[in-house]
Amino acid sequence: MKRIYLMICLACACTAMIAQGKKDTPVYKDANRPVEERVNDLLKRMTLEEKVMQLNQYTLGRNDNVNNVGEAVKNIPAELGSVIYFSYDPKLRNEVQRKAMEESRLGIPLIYGYDVIHGFRTVYPIPLAQACSWNPELVQQASAVAAQEARMSGVDWTFSPMIDVARDGRWGRVAEGYGEDPHTNAVFAVASVKGYQGDNMASDKNVAACLKHFVGYGASEGGRDYVFTEISRQTLWDTYMQPYIEGVKAGAATLMSCFNDISGTPGTANPYILREVLKGKWGHDGFVVSDWGAIEQLRPQGVAADKKEAALKAFTAGVEMDMMNNCYNKHLGELVSEGLVSMEMLDDAVRRVLRVKFRLGLFERPYTPESTEKERFYLAESLRVAEQLAEESIVLLKNENNILPLQEAKDIAVVGPMGDTRWHLLGSWAAHGDSERIVPIASALKEEFEGKASVTFAKGCDFDGEDSSGFEEALQAARKADVVVVALGEKKNWSGENASRSTIALPDIQLQLLKEISKTGKPIVLVLSSGRPIELGKVEASCKAIVQMWQPGISGAKPIAGVLSGRVNPSGKLAITYPYASGQIPIYYNQRKSARPHQGKYQDIPNTPLYEFGHGLSYTSFEYGKLKASASSVSKDGRVTVEVPVTNTGDRDGLETVHWFITDPVASISRPVKELKHFEKKLIRKGETVVFRFEITPMKDIAFLNHNGDKILEKGKVYISVKDERVELDIE
Ligand code: BGC
């Protein structure tokens, strides 16, 4: 009896203790409470200094020297909001995180960001190449692979995707986005956000995404980086905003403000874009991080006299986190005390940062499990995705008399500086990619053709410079061969940030090599690897085939070897126009209409590009049937379906992408000559016919945006087209 009585007493005491404990647990630490309640509770407890510190981002982990790790931990204040994490070691993250959790008064975890642009360790092709795959599902999978590797390595947040519409190949950052078209950028923005964030950012395999660089960075004048951009309100909405609209709708947790001055108001001090549109009109409740140094750069841009004014302008415009400017940490507190920034505005900013931290589950799981590299990287499925994406992004630009695939050749010569490089195939922003794993072009071809053809390699020359002493060896190899694969292109650092070029032509030495090889009379297959389209107007005729392999990442040259042998049937199509010459830039398919379409031509070069947007060949042939619409007119809220049958008339299976365009011939605001509105990629087996469909909802697919971003649907005729076929539709 006594024992039972004792046990009851004990149980009661325990229950009371638990209840008391619960009562003492602050709301913000209670995982069962809604995020908003937790955020508000935490905010109430924070001092001005603590609030300000949440809005700053420093760097961590550049120094790999183990002796300095202690220093790195010491340099990060326990109250800091975020770091850019250059390491992939969860240990260092955890040490610094422990400091934030245990040494700061409130135990607020840091958020670790990093540029995971096209993969973390398993590097996949550059984004421009990914767009040429026209396979958003695959890009979503690749982004999920990147997220898993990053999160398991201590990164919670990627500064990706870059969805800046870019129409100037001289701008090095064309490599980082999805090409020249707003709709394409929008579709891939959604795919990558979904891949990074999954259904639940708190999962230990997902990261927060960051749409960048908001907005208009791709309009950099003359392809020069960081410069002024001239963007009218109409073009802002027509062209540059569209991908952001969709990316925000897809739930992107954060955005990065841009470096560029937008017609007089830099993006980082632009209340219209950041406050009125993003936070107001679109209701985005995550936060905006400045680009690296972009707040401080408001001084050289001429809108702030000093760092304090820069902090004021950026903050009141709507930039919540200061990336490496030392503006907010130094001046924001002061600005609040002086009444120039209201406490309400400060609270709103902190609330946004905390919200993302809660959504990432950082308060519950601040530390990263210390897994082995083998558990995180190069998983079989991750490598498969990287290889498939590299295969599908390759674009066969030319294939005279079906010289490709190489089936008869017994002797293949590979010449050119791209032939034996691993490093340059990684592309810019290659995160923790390890080029040692990459198989170069010549080696991949040797493996691919083993037992079928001999493959010899002679470099011929370097990527640039004037040294032609290797030409002779290359010519000898070419003379002995049945076919010459000339592997040319760009070094890794010729594209990406701060990598502008005055021309998109190859350096002279590479062109000379090509010219000398062509004098041998041997058929040339030109293989290009680059981060931008290349000017080929003058050399195109000397090549029987041209293949753009872009920068494929970790899969290296195995995919291109597969294309040359025929193991892989190419299916990539251009997401960016290939100009005939650099002088045509800017040239893109969706320009506004000319007053005299048949005049205004260049006198010295053709007006048309060498290869247009959407161009890309296959080893099989596809025949398009007649377009058929389910109705000839449609009301504002109605729907209409247009379909087209496509038959594989060749002798092998192939993947085909159908691009659907609309043309609005007469509108109150002039519309582009045509606009991509839908695309789909499907496998068509040889001899089979597959029907492709475009389900049109007028408000989504036909309406356009005015200079305020309001949707306008006008009555009248529009055309729906696929290749050269079109049907007419009446909007009632
Ligand atoms: C780039 C951003 C990048 C950031 C952090 C900047 O220089 O413009 O795209 O995310 O650095 O590395």
pLDDT digits (tens, 9 = 90+) for 322-379: 999 999 999 999 999 999 999 999 999 999 999 999 999 999 999 999 999 999 999 9
b/e 86-115 (16+ beta carbons within 10 angstroms → b): bbbbbebbbbbbebbbeebebbbbbbbbbb
Q: How many CB atoms lie within 10 A of CB 35?
A: 16
Reference 209, options 218, 195, 196; nearest CA is 196
CATH architecture of the domain formed by 622-731: Sandwich (2.60)
Confidence of residue 70 (pLDDT cuts 50, 70, 90): confident
In this predicted structure, what is the pLDDT of residue 187?
Answer: 99
Residue 415 and residue 517 in contact, taking contact as beta carbons nearer than 8 Å = yes
In this predicted structure, what is the pLDDT of residue 93?
Answer: 96
CATH architecture of the domain formed by 382-584: 3-Layer(aba) Sandwich (3.40)
What's the Cα-to-Cα distance from 96 to each of 53, 73, 74, 79, rounded to whole Å?
15, 5, 8, 11
Cβ of 159 below 6 Å from ligand 1: yes
Confidence of residue 62 (pLDDT cuts 50, 70, 90): confident
Distance CA 704, CA 691 (A): 28
Residue span(s) of the chain under CATH 3.40.50.1700 come to 382-584
C-alpha torsion 13→18→20→23, nearest 10: -160
C-alpha torsion 621→626→632→633, nearest 10: 0
236-271: per-residue pLDDT in tens? 999 999 999 999 999 999 999 999 999 999 999 999
Q: Using the mean position of ligand 1's atoms as its centre, give its distance from the Cα of residue 314 in Å.
A: 17
Res 14 pLDDT > 50: no
Res 20 pLDDT > 80: no
Cβ of 115 below 6 Å from ligand 1: yes
In this predicted structure, what is the pLDDT of residue 21?
Answer: 53
Among the ranges given (7-11, 350-354, 425-429, 647-651), the one the predictor scored with the smallest mean pLDDT: 7-11
Q: How many CB atoms lie within 10 A of CB 557?
A: 31
Alpha-helical segments (H) within 171-293: 182-197, 233-235, 242-249, 271
Res 7 pLDDT > 60: no
Ligand 1 atom nearest 213 alpha carbon = 9
Phi then psi for 380, rounded to 5 degrees?
A: -55, -45
Determine which residue's CA is closest to atom 2 belonging to ligand 1.
291
430-475: per-residue pLDDT in tens? 999 999 999 999 999 999 999 999 999 999 999 999 999 999 999 9
Res 380 pLDDT > 70: yes
Mean pLDDT of 83-110: 97
Q: Using the mean position of ligand 1's atoms as its centre, give its distance from the Cα of residue 260 in Å.
A: 13
617-649: per-residue pLDDT in tens? 999 999 999 999 999 999 999 999 999 999 999
Q: What is the mean pLDDT of the chain?
A: 96
Mean pLDDT of 590-599: 96
Q: Using the mean position of ligand 1's atoms as its centre, give its distance from the Cα of residue 116 in Å.
A: 11
pLDDT above 90 covers a percentage of the chain that reads 95
Confidence of residue 404 (pLDDT cuts 50, 70, 90): very high
In this predicted structure, what is the pLDDT of residue 6?
Answer: 53
For 27, the enclosing helix (H) or strand (E) is: none
Bridge partners (DSSP) of residue 64 are: none
Distance CA 425, CA 439 (A): 9
Determine which residue's CA is closest to atom 8 belonging to ligand 1.
291
Res 1 pLDDT > 60: no
Q: Using the mean position of ligand 1's atoms as its centre, give its distance from the Cα of residue 197 in Å.
A: 20
Cβ of 291 below 6 Å from ligand 1: yes
For the chain, the farthest-separated pair of C-alpha atoms sits apart, in whole angstroms, at 108
Alpha-helical segments (H) within 521-567: 558-565
Cβ of 429 below 6 Å from ligand 1: no
Q: Using the mean position of ligand 1's atoms as its centre, give its distance from the Cα of residue 291 in Å.
A: 6
pTM for this entry: 0.96
Mean pLDDT of 7-21: 51
Reference 333, options 325, 341, 323; nearest CA is 341
Catalytic residues: 291
In this predicted structure, what is the pLDDT of residue 263?
Answer: 98
Confidence of residue 73 (pLDDT cuts 50, 70, 90): confident
Ligand 1 atom nearest 176 alpha carbon = 9
Distance CA 185, CA 168 (A): 15
Residue span(s) of the chain under CATH 2.60.40.10 come to 622-731
Confidence of residue 8 (pLDDT cuts 50, 70, 90): low
What is the sign, positive or negative, of the torsion defined by CA atoms of 353, 356, 361, 366?
negative
Identify which of 82, 291, 321, 429 to mutate to test ligand 1's pocket (most ligand atoms within 8 A of the CB): 291
Determine which residue's CA is closest to atom 11 belonging to ligand 1.
292
119-144: per-residue pLDDT in tens? 999 999 999 999 999 999 999 999 99
693-720: per-residue pLDDT in tens? 999 999 999 999 999 999 999 999 999 9
